[in-house]
Structure 1
Amino acid sequence: MILRTFGWSFGVTVVGLLIALLYDGPTGLALVAVLAVLEISLSFDNAVVNAKVLDRMSAFWQKIFLTVGIAIAVFGMRLVFPLLIVGITAKLNPVQAFDLALNDSSRYHQLMNDAYPMIAAFGGMFLMMLFLDFVFEERAEKWLPWVERPLARIGKLDQLSVVVAGGSLAFVSWLSAEDPGQVMIAGVLGMITYILVNGLGELFSEASDDDEDEDGAEEGAGGRSGPSSLALATGKAGFFLFLYLEVLDASFSFDGVIGAFAISTDPIVIALGLGIGAMYIRSLTVFLVRKGTLHEYVYLEHGAHWAIGALAVCMLVSIGHHVPEWITGGLGAGLIIAAFASSVVRNRGEGGGAPAETPGEDGKKLHSSNV
């Protein structure tokens, strides 16, 4: 099970460390190893949330996320994205930005830091909306009832998550940003991206469920169901869930990409280290889905979303003040560990956890055998 799930990650680790050794000797090898650990520690909560969304996707879109999605995560966000940010900031083409990264790392680092307030505003607002939508929704299971109950109660006010997120963005822009206009624009774009991608995913997911119900009724009446409508609706729902996951992964990776510059400014070393870490996050996502861990340890999802909220706050604070990476990583890991421990205590109190293969919210079993 472990080898099957983490096999590609082990292989990429060996290849990546070998490339680092050939590229920059023992120093490069050590830096890549440290960066990989940094990425895993900062993005562990990402794996838990990814697994929850992946559980809702068909086997086909699960495979797309674990193949095409890996390429986007490893090469897109960890190598191409920093170059694009520097290129846009300095008005350079990608080739010039890559040359700048290799030959003038201090200037490259400075340009990335200059762009960070906009990056943090975009990613922080996306994650803030995700967190608020979770805590403002009424749920049967409550990990922290003393705070989750009142939040769910006031969450009945329509669009409260938009009000809270928008107010937080305006306050931070006014209080901390050197250029409030740019920070506001980036933050609003982050909110729009979340609302659009998440809304489209839910829309087509509901359409898929409606089509499935109609087809089942037709079959029960002795009619034949049409094959195209359900496949098309499911495909659209899977596509937008895939987009949602990619944007979510990008938002999680912002702090890791920026924080990596505290360890190395070489784009090759950063891409290798963060790429290895991203592979393990993907493998951990698959492991959680296959084992049904989120159904067995019910508070893990709560802990992950509280970790997302903590990360969103850290990103907003970092617009005006530096927040050490060990704080963001430690908060996320600590909340998830606490949620896991609470789940274990709950399961023991009930005489054992739920079986690994538990129907999801939509009544379907996990696609774990097809991942």
Structure 2
Amino acid sequence: MVLKTFGWSFAVTALGLVAAVLIDGWTAFGIVLILSILEISLSFDNAVVNAGILKKMSPFWQKIFLTIGILIAVFGMRLVFPVVIVAVSASLGPIEAVDLALNNPTRYEELVTDAHPSIAAFGGMFLLMIFLDFIFEDRDIKWLGWLERPLAKLGKVDMLSVCIALIVLLASSLTFAKNAHLHAGHADKAETVLLAGVAGLVTYLVVGGLSSFFENRLEEEEEREHEAEEEARRSGKEVSAVALAGKAAFFMFLYLEVLDASFSFDGVIGAFAITNDIVLMALGLGIGAMYVRSLTVYLVRQGTLDDYVYLEHGAHYAIGALAAILLITIQYQINEVITGLVGVVLIAWSFWSSVRRNKALAEAEGKADASGDKSEVSSGV
């Protein structure tokens, strides 16, 4: 099971590390290895959240997620995306941006740093909406009940999460963005942050809304599937829900890709603290992205989220923390180690809480069984 799920990740790791040695010796090997670990630590919560969505998809779309999805994740977000940022922010052509990335990495890093406020605002708002929609939803299973119960009641207010997100964005633009950190000092980026933040919010609403719409349509169709098949047999026609399932799966897939993009922002920006070589950066972050993808599928196939029910809660709290960190980094620099540790601690805490819950349920079930056996013996006597 492990080899089947992580086989491609192991292969890409080997190829990536060999390529690093060939490019610039053992120094490059160490850089790529560190970047891989950085990406995995920063994106573990991404894997947990992805698994919650991916388990609703068919094996076919899970394979698409691991093939086409990984190409988008590795080459799109870890290689092409930083170049596109430079091209747009510096008003350069794509060829000029690529040439700058390969031949003038110092200037390239400066331009990416200057674009950080807009990147952080877009990603921060997208992730904040995911967190808010999660904590405002009334769930049967609650991890931090003292917090989640009152928030679930507040969640009955329409569009509350959007209102809060816009308030947070406005506050960020009036505080952090007024003194945004740039490579050459500080500058007022309020307008840029507002526009990027609104874009992140709109992207979430559009992609998430379409995904939910088609998912609901698919569930309705599945309820009528048996009747439709019977009717098709009687009429001699074929009725298929494949098209609808394809739409639902496609928009969930699209949602996963946008989600992965938002998670990758901090990894891409943080990678510049280690190297400004775009090739080594793509190798290291790409290897990490492969493991995140494989871990997502592993969690789905093992049913880990069903066994450890608080993991999804911990991951969403980590998302909320990451959203806050991204917005704070518009003005202040935060070490990537801190960012990674916050997510790891929250997920580890939720895992430990899940283990304790499972043990308590098992003990309660054992006592109930023992009590039942005693009753039977007593009545028999």
- Is TM > 0.5 for Structure 1 vs Structure 2? yes
- The aligned counterpart of 1:158 is 158
Instruction: Write the distance in 1 (CA, Å) between the matches of 2:291 and 2:222.
Output: 35
* Pairing 1:77-92 to 2, within 5 Å after superposition: 77-92=77-92
Aligned length: 353
Q: Which sits farther off after the overlay, 71-80 or 91-100? A: 91-100
- The aligned counterpart of 1:232 is 243
Q: Please state if 1:72 is matched with 2:82.
A: no
Shift of 1:227: 4.8
Shift of 1:224: 5.0
- The aligned counterpart of 2:119 is 119
* Pairing 1:136-175 to 2, within 5 Å after superposition: 136-175=136-175
Instruction: Write the distance in 2 (CA, Å) between the matches of 1:260 and 1:164.
Output: 31
CA contact (8 A) 1:211 1:229 kept: no
* Pairing 1:308-347 to 2, within 5 Å after superposition: 308-347=319-358
CA contact (8 A) 2:20 2:29 kept: yes
**What do the CA deviations read for 1:33-72 (whole angstroms, capped 9, x no partner)?**
0000000000000000011110111222211111100000
Shift of 1:95: 2.0
- The aligned counterpart of 1:357 is none
* Pairing 1:1-371 to 2, within 5 Å after superposition: 1-177=1-177, 178-219=188-229, 227-228=238-239, 230-351=241-362
SS of alignment partner, residue 332 of structure 2: coil
Instruction: Write the distance in 2 (CA, Å) between the matches of 1:62 and 1:219.
Output: 26
* Rg larger for: 2
Q: Which sits farther off after the overlay, 166-175 or 206-215? A: 206-215
Amino acid at match of 1:197: V
Shift of 1:181: 1.1
Amino acid at match of 2:28: G
SS of alignment partner, residue 351 of structure 1: helix
Shift of 1:103: 2.0
Q: TM-score, normalised by structure 2?
A: 0.90
Shift of 1:94: 2.1
CA contact (8 A) 1:218 1:224 kept: no
Shift of 1:211: 1.8
CA contact (8 A) 2:116 2:330 kept: yes
Instruction: Write the distance in 2 (CA, Å) between the matches of 1:156 and 1:140.
Output: 15
Amino acid at match of 1:321: Y
Instruction: Write the distance in 2 (CA, Å) between the matches of 1:108 and 1:62.
Output: 36
**What do the CA deviations read for 1:135-174 (whole angstroms, capped 9, x no partner)?**
0000011110111111111111000000000100000001
Q: TM-score, normalised by structure 1?
A: 0.92
CA 1:219–1:83 in 2, change beyond 3 Å: closer, same or farther? closer
Instruction: Write the distance in 2 (CA, Å) between the matches of 1:97 and 1:103.
Output: 10
Amino acid at match of 1:249: D
Instruction: Write the distance in 1 (CA, Å) between the matches of 2:232 and 2:290.
Output: 48
Instruction: Write the distance in 2 (CA, Å) between the matches of 1:203 and 1:345.
Output: 36
Shift of 1:218: 4.2
Pairwise CA RMSD of aligned residues?
1.6
SS of alignment partner, residue 259 of structure 1: helix
Amino acid at match of 1:99: D
Amino acid at match of 1:80: V
SS of alignment partner, residue 224 of structure 2: helix
Instruction: Write the distance in 1 (CA, Å) between the matches of 2:143 and 2:172.
Output: 29
Return 5+ residue gaps in structure 1 as ranges. 353-371
Instruction: Write the distance in 1 (CA, Å) between the matches of 2:111 and 2:307.
Output: 45
Shift of 1:92: 1.4
CA 1:221–1:86 in 2, change beyond 3 Å: closer, same or farther? closer
CA 1:13–1:150 in 2, change beyond 3 Å: closer, same or farther? same
**What do the CA deviations read for 1:223-250 (whole angstroms, capped 9, x no partner)?**
6597555211111000000000000000
Amino acid at match of 1:83: V
Instruction: Write the distance in 2 (CA, Å) between the matches of 1:242 and 1:141.
Output: 26
**What do the CA deviations read for 1:168-214 (whole angstroms, capped 9, x no partner)?**
00000011112211111110110111111111011111111222222
Instruction: Write the distance in 2 (CA, Å) between the matches of 1:228 and 1:220.
Output: 9
Instruction: Write the distance in 2 (CA, Å) between the matches of 1:128 and 1:242.
Output: 20
**What do the CA deviations read for 1:116-147 (whole angstroms, capped 9, x no partner)?**
00000000000000000000000011110111
Instruction: Write the distance in 2 (CA, Å) between the matches of 1:141 and 1:64.
Output: 31
Instruction: Write the distance in 1 (CA, Å) between the matches of 2:340 and 2:239.
Output: 45
CA 1:222–1:2 in 2, change beyond 3 Å: closer, same or farther? closer
